[in-house]
Amino acid sequence: MQVVKFTLENLTGEGRISMAAHRVSLWLAIVLAGIMAWGSASAQTQVLGPISEETPPAVCWAGWFVSGIRCSGRYCDNIEITCTKIPGATVGSDNLWTPWVSEENSSPAWCGPGPNLIAGFACNGGYCDNVSLYCVPLVNLRTIHCWQTRAVSEEHGGVLSFREGSSGGIVVATQMSCSGSHCDNKTFHVCEIKSP
């Protein structure tokens, strides 16, 4: 494989940059700047964690909600959450933490009628055996097209984006269930968001 080093001599053969090469370099800089600005503006996510029984809870910024999860460590002990900003979201003041849930409990951790969405996680017990969800109500938006996700755990890649199975909109969760030792396998009830 031959590596070609681009210099002014390569472009014109005389040590000067041609007008055409100057135009190309100028347009290339403009296009790259536009792509970088678009990428940073469209990347409305934050990753928090890892969350475990040894760490404090993690809560998304106001107007941001959990849109994915990553598990690592034995029994999904360490959880990272991805938070996504919902443009135009107005949140209520009735924020609450759910009761602790684990595989020993038959009930899922549910944020309630809503839309009340998951905006944070807390762990308690060995290997994050008990999970509590931080729930925040949305005032001006509603959920549509809801479904149950596949289970996520460290044995199966450990990553779950709630957008799997969506039509491309913003997808957030309203409840979480778990099974397996130490609440190892986590599934979520997720919904797309629609403006009123």
170-195 pLDDT, tens digit each: 899 999 999 888 888 999 999 998 76
Coil, helix or strand at residue 93: coil
Alpha-carbon torsion 182, 104, 189, 92, what sign? negative
Q: Quick one: pLDDT at residue 165?
A: 67
Distance separating alpha carbons of residues 166 and 160, to the nearest angstrom? 13
Residue pair 13/42 in contact (Cβ under 8 Å)? The answer is no
pLDDT at residue 83 is higher than 70: yes
Q: What is the largest CA-CA distance in the chain?
A: 78
Segment 8-40, tens digit of pLDDT:
343 344 444 344 443 333 333 333 333 233 333
Coil, helix or strand at residue 181: helix
Report the share of the chain in percent with pLDDT over 70: 76
Residue pair 111/175 in contact (Cβ under 8 Å)? The answer is yes
Q: Give residue limits of the domains in the chain.
A: 8-41, 44-194
Give every CB contact of residue 23 below 8 A, 6+ residues apart in sequence.
none
User: Is omega for the bond preceding 115 within 30 degrees of 0, making it cis?
Assistant: yes
Amino acid present at 109? A
Quote the pTM value: 0.75
Report the candidate in 12, 165, 179 with the shortest Cα–Cα distance to residue 107. 179
Report the candidate in 78, 122, 76 with the shortest Cα–Cα distance to residue 97. 122
